Structure 1
Amino acid sequence: MEKTNQHVCSHKVVHVGWQKSNLQEFKAAFISDNQAQSDWLDSKKHAELMENMDKKSAWDRFYSETSSRSHNFKNFEWFFGFDAVQDFITPFLQTASLSRRPVQVLDMGCGTSALGPSIYRDSALPVRVTCADISPVAVRLMREHVRANPVRPRNASSQIEFLELDCTQLDSHYGPSSLDLIVDKGTTDALLRSKEGAEKAASVLRQCLKVLRRSGSLLQFSDEDPDARLVWLETAAQGQGLAAADVGVQEVGVLRGVCYYCYQVTAHHYVNK
């Protein structure tokens, strides 16, 4: 894949080297009409979450406390909702469908986002969507929400499941070449922003490339500038049997003053381990 690195945005808002964001920058990464979540981010607890976004306990606490403050479930979106990235995801579903089997999709670090359920709902092609998160609280909330508000897929053969899974142990759950598409909306960003998450993020990237089929891709949605993220992706993808990876980038657009990008990563075949 030919690499594209076009800076259409007129400014760079991402913290190269992943310096800590202030509260307003941190809150800009989230979309939610849930007042309980907004109130939680306004509290001093946001600093603790920022430093520990690679830890299960931090997210369990976040989802437990924000859900307990509201009687009505609200999806909590990192960056943006499905509509903003639907046109990036659909072509990969169509390519993977040529195999004439359900397209295996992983929404990695789903939280309580509507992204995975939206892929399941809107895909005209048969898909099996797994929404996975490290937090059992988030997984339980999503299961309960979908049980109470069933999602009707366009394709009757499509399936969806919610799974508690630490993405740093991805290859312990999935075998090599078992997924067609992995969608990462802010999960890698959360790892890289956390105090001790850089090594975990690199490990997750390599595991993603291992469990993807040869025709499969990883889509990372991020606010990190291509000058930083492209180099990191190319470097972190090497090793553990990977010859290299092809990396490309497209601009998603500017939302609430922040420029977002879609990074596509496709693995080369494995070499001897």
Structure 2
Amino acid sequence: MKLVGKTAIVTGASKGIGYAIADHLMTHGADVVITARNEAELATAAKQLTEAHTADKTKAIPVAADVSLAADITRLFERAVEELGPIAILVNNAGNSTLDLVENLPETDFDAVVGTHLKGTYLGTKAAINHMKATGTPGVVVNLGSVETFGTTRGNAHYSAAKAGIDKFTEVTALEAGRHGIRINAVAPGAVETPMGQDATTPEFTAAWHRTFSVERMGRPADIAKAVVFLASDYAEWITGITLLVDGGTHLRGLPDYADFLLPTTN
């Protein structure tokens, strides 16, 4: 699965799954523009990635951006092209989350989560399609969905709704962009050990997740990165409009109820 000579943009890539995706793309030969909102974390991540891939002769370029802002996405693509040339791969990975029942959910939380996940995916994909059409690049977009699209849990309605929207958005845009030689797919992670996930968990919640797995371990960022690289590669050249579950089998057993473990005062 060689991606030599290709340029990728990975959003939300200063740590966690996004960092692992950038790392794996670089291993397979792609140069990567990584983006996130925290400029200092992003610069550190880019330096670490570039140093780790000296032998691969690939590099990571940091460009700070908020994916929910159209102006930032425009600037991101302009900088990426200026630094590395035409973009062949976009990975819409940036994410955030809060937990609450809808009856208590602040409007600001709803806007922030849906804005980052769903609007961010829309803005990035729109920019990628227009760029790839203009440059004649047979490109690839990979969006990040979630196992929560395939199950239901209390406390995460805004996040689940945004991820479900990404699944349908992926299908429609794949249908629209295919005639331009552009493939668009999604990867839906299950429970993955990341800094964001660790900040919002308890030992009891982790144990509940373990009871959902068929492959009985927590997911790792590399598990998701490998699936993204596959969909971005020529190995998947006749695959478009799908959401690939990478969840250790959780969808076979069902999600733990977030409210039971993380919102203990709810009924």
* TM-score (normalizing by structure 2): 0.44
* TM-score (normalizing by structure 1): 0.43
**Larger proportion of strand:** 1
